[in-house]
């Protein structure tokens, strides 16, 4: 692989790895964490991937009170990062503002590279001293600074709670919330300090750096001759400020929490999550976080805008399969139109697995609602029933055309005969394997593939010709319809995923 994958582990994910190393996780969770750490280490050793550290993650981990846990987290972070670290938040943000403004003047989007956000040499030697140096580079603890960061988290929660109360009686769309959040954040973090510095006010070191970078951007405008300093402030006060990735991500996550989960409220840990993810998301091939944050990043196309795949601990096996697929499965290739379909596909997969686990093991041989099929035959169909779509996906990805459609009825009969002796457990493994292959191929689709004409099967309607994108949008309905037929042999009910 010519270029390394850039993978970021957020604080919660790193904490699980640290807990596992200390025996704090048990059973399947411990085994999965141990497998993940071993696989990540092998990717670093073989120079397939880099796992950069970040200042935000360091500061968040420092707030943990257990010294043993802190040491474990630091050692794991050092072992994986090998001295490579994302730059501080305000440094990344200020650079992005300058680059976005220059791009705005030239009428083009600036091209991001992960090198601009990282410090340290990912091509450098890997040795014990590098790991030790990385451990020592963590922000050194002192009681006053720790108390300041704890206070910052508390005040951040209080601020968001107050803002939620102020907006409670105002009808705002998600886009309204996002735009308002972007303006507030830009003003609070960078633009306000830049104005105050110009008025002679004393600023702390970090905000002074941010403000001076703004001066650099303004200088670029003035050098163009016909552009005054006001052009920057017009850019900063307009919707164009959302072209700054860190501001777009910060505002989008805030808006998603407010719009999609109003009862959730604001957690103390959200401040560092926002800071870290707004730093790293534009530069990563993959990000690991908890299931709740994965859901937030998957909504409204937040992660897909930056072609970044998001995983939780339960998705580790999927990540390993994606990496093992090699260059044929570039992790950042998911088309923004396909990403929501793939996320829905994952939700339905989880539902199918839960339905199968709920079925009575002694009932698979009983006749199903489908004439001539037992419930086990229905399970075979669920496990192997994507022959047509897999053929179309492979045709588009490999040849740029759908190709001839296989005979679905003949394929079903062949699969049922082939799996006559297969156990339900083996069929579940086959289901996971085939569905993973469908998702892998989804990740390789390009915009030109979406307009290919094919039969679209909509639930409750006769098939009609439409675009391949429309066909993908209704793909999961096949599973939901068949899963409902398993209800008579289920020992307990399973709620289907929300539409």
Selection from 245, 305, 288 nearest residue 6 by Cα: 288
With residue 393 as reference, give the H or E element that holds it. Answer: helix 387-399
Please tell me the distance from the alpha carbon of residue 69 to that of residue 270, in angstroms, as a whole number.
21
Instruction: List Cβ neighbours of 111 (8 Å cut-off, separation of 6 or more).
Output: none
Instruction: List Cβ neighbours of 265 (8 Å cut-off, separation of 6 or more).
Output: 161, 164
Task: Give the alpha-carbon dihedral of 155, 10, 78, 127, to 10 degrees.
Answer: -150
If you count DSSP H runs as helices and E runs as strands, how many of each does the chain have, helices first? 22, 9
| The pLDDT of residue 187 | 77
Q: Are strands 5-9 and 49-50 parallel, antiparallel or unpaired?
A: parallel
Selection from 378, 370, 387 nearest residue 416 by Cα: 378
Please tell me the distance from the alpha carbon of residue 296 to that of residue 253, in angstroms, as a whole number.
7
Instruction: List Cβ neighbours of 101 (8 Å cut-off, separation of 6 or more).
Output: 217, 220, 221, 232, 235
Residue pair 276/11 in contact by the 8 Å Cβ criterion:
yes
User: What is the dotted CATH code of the domain comprising 339-489?
Assistant: 1.20.120.450
Both structure tokens of 183: 């303006």
- The predicted model scores a pTM of 0.59
Q: Where are the domains of the chain?
A: 339-489
- pLDDT per residue as tens, the chain (499 positions): 336 788 999 888 888 898 898 888 888 888 999 999 999 999 988 888 889 988 777 666 655 556 777 788 888 888 888 878 888 777 787 778 777 777 777 766 655 565 566 765 444 443 333 334 433 444 444 455 555 555 555 555 555 556 666 666 666 777 888 888 888 887 777 677 767 766 777 666 555 555 565 666 566 555 655 455 667 777 777 777 777 888 889 888 888 887 777 666 666 667 778 888 988 898 888 999 988 888 888 777 788 778 788 898 888 888 888 887 664 444 454 677 887 888 788 788 878 888 988 899 999 999 999 999 999 999 999 988 877 778 888 888 777 888 666 677 888 899 999 999 999 888 887 887 788 778 778 877 878 888 888 888 887 788 888 999 998 988 888 888 889 999 999 998 888 887 6
Selection from 393, 391, 488 nearest residue 445 by Cα: 393
């Amino acid at each position: 692989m010519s270029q390394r994958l850039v993978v970021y582990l957020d604080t919660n994910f790193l904490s699980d790895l640290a807990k596992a190393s200390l025996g704090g996780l048990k059973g399947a969770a411990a085994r999965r964490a141990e497998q993940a750490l071993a696989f990540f280490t092998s990717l670093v050793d073989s120079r397939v991937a880099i796992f950069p550290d970040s200042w935000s993650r360091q500061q968040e981990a420092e707030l943990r009170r257990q010294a043993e846990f802190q040491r474990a987290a630091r050692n794991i972070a050092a072992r994986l990062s090998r001295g490579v670290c994302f730059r501080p938040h305000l440094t990344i943000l200020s650079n992005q503002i300058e680059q976005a403004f220059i791009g705005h003047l030239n009428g083009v989007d600036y091209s991001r590279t992960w090198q601009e956000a990282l410090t340290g040499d990912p091509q450098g030697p890997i040795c014990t001293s590098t790991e030790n140096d990385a451990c020592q580079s963590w922000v050194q603890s002192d009681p006053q600074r720790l108390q300041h960061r704890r206070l910052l988290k508390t005040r951040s929660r209080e601020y968001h709670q107050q803002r939620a109360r102020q907006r409670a009686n105002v009808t705002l769309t998600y886009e309204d919330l996002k735009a308002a959040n972007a303006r507030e954040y830009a003003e609070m973090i960078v633009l306000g300090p830049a104005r105050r510095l110009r008025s002679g006010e004393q600023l702390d070191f970090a905000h002074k750096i941010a403000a001076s970078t703004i001066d650099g951007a303004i200088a670029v405008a003035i050098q163009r001759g016909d552009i005054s300093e006001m052009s920057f402030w017009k850019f900063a006060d307009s919707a164009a400020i959302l072209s700054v990735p860190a501001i777009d991500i910060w505002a989008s996550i805030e808006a998603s929490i407010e719009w999609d989960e109003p009862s959730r409220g604001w957690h103390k840990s959200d401040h560092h999550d926002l800071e870290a993810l707004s730093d790293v998301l534009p530069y990563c091939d993959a990000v690991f976080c908890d299931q709740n944050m994965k859901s937030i990043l998957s909504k409204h196309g937040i992660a897909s805008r930056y072609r970044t795949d998001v995983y939780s601990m339960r998705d580790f096996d999927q990540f390993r399969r994606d990496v093992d697929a090699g260059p044929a499965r570039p992790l950042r290739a998911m088309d923004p139109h396909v990403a929501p379909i793939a996320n829905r596909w994952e939700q339905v997969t989880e539902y199918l697995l839960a339905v199968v686990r709920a079925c009575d093991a002694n009932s698979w041989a009983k006749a199903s609602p489908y004439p001539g099929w037992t419930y086990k035959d229905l399970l075979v169909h669920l496990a192997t029933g994507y022959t047509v779509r897999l053929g179309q996906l492979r045709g588009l990805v490999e040849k740029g055309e759908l190709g001839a459609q296989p005979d679905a009825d003949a394929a079903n009969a062949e699969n049922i005969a082939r799996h006559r002796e297969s156990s339900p457990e083996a069929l579940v493994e086959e289901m996971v394997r085939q569905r993973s292959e469908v998702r892998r191929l989804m990740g390789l689709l390009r915009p030109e593939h979406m307009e290919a004409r094919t039969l679209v099967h909509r639930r409750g309607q006769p098939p009609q010709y439409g675009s391949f994108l429309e066909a993908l949008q209704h793909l999961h309905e096949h599973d939901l319809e068949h899963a409902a037929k398993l209800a008579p042999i289920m020992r307990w009910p399973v709620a289907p995923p929300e539409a």
